[in-house]
Structure 1
Amino acid sequence: MKLSSLISVAVLNISVLSLVGCQAVSTDTDSPKEIVTTAIEASQLDSDKDGVPDIIDQCPNTPWNIAVDKEGCPPTPIGTDLKMEYRAYYEAGSNQLTQEDLIELDRVADIMKQYPDSKVFFEGHISNHEKSTNNAALAQERVEYVKNYLILNHGIHPDRIKIEVYGATRPLSENEDNKEELRLNQRVYGLLTGEIETNED
């Protein structure tokens, strides 16, 4: 009987030690884990989403969808009396305007003739799809075509037309698997600005 009692006590002690060991392990698993965060480099920040990093953006609060130059500023100050936007979207690999695009460009010319001090700024863009198929020059061709149309067909002075070529650096859509969204990136965007003079008696 004594031997049996000793064996029972030994088994009980082993069970208690095993339980303590299990509790120690479970406590370790419940300890809080360190949260790892990745800092964004200053050169990548673009607070106003105009495609120009904050570190070189000279106009940091430009409204969305306003054409800007390489310094992040509109070609003419925002808030002028006259403002007209122009948009043309292209088939992949093409620099040709549709009849509707030309009609809209004619309207731009009419406004520029009506307001001789007005100016227009055009951006040339391509999609990443076009860039990958060796069509990088398309952005230049598209915007030059628009500029030359105003000069040759309407006699607009070249000094009143500013152009900028952005290539595939400013996509409007990241989903280029969709044909319609692909065309959003294959575009020319223009902004006509100027002042409207009023005659006061």
Structure 2
Amino acid sequence: MSIMRTALPLVLLTGVLTGCAGLQKTDWPTCAALGGVTGAAIGATESSAYAGYGALLIGGMAGAYCWVHGDGDEDGDGVPDSRDKCPGTPKGVQVNADGCPPAPPAAVVEEVVVVKEETIVIRDVHFEFDSARLTAADKTKLDTIATRLKQEAPSAQLRVTGHTDSVGKDAYNQRLSDKRAHSVTDYLVGSGVPRSAFVAVMGAGESQPVADNKTAEGRALNRRTEIQINR
């Protein structure tokens, strides 16, 4: 019985201190409470009068032991220092189980799609009646197109094609569309687009309609100049 009374307190005290060693510093109240219960039990083995003293003494020792030997969290990120692979993380930064900020998402690189071929369709350049001469309004519209083509010219090839409606003879419409294509090209060159950028200037006459020539609306759509940009 004497051996049990001596060994039991040691076993209980060792168990409390071992358990506290695996806790964090901030868990010292828990260690103190467990130590108090254990101290009371140890004191009671001697006399009921010693239970309070045992609780106070052992509870204090357990709480202090937990504070000194417990696992800390210096950067306050919620991950114990023993597992924190990124100590010193700034306050408020979200961390993972290792105490490190999550890796930033991989940057999404958007592929720039270059349109190799594009066609500018000019339908609002009407020329003078039955002529290839540009009106003042035509020139104003072509000025806007010239500004863009000057940017394209260093790395692109330009093809200009004139088109007419079906009114009149085929041969006449062919010649007229060719003259109008050259008239547009000459104006663009005069506006600063390098002539070397134009690899083809031609007329297609009435051979490539995009609408019904039987209506006024359709014929208006067919009278056009197209500038093909090949990058």
Tell me which interval the TM-score lies in, with the shorter structure as reference length. Answer: 0.3 to 0.5
TM-score normalised by length of structure 2: 0.41
TM-score normalised by length of structure 1: 0.46
Q: Which has the higher contact order (CA 8 A, sep 6+)?
A: 1
Structure with max Cα Rg: 2
Question: Is the helix fraction higher in 1 or 2?
Answer: 2
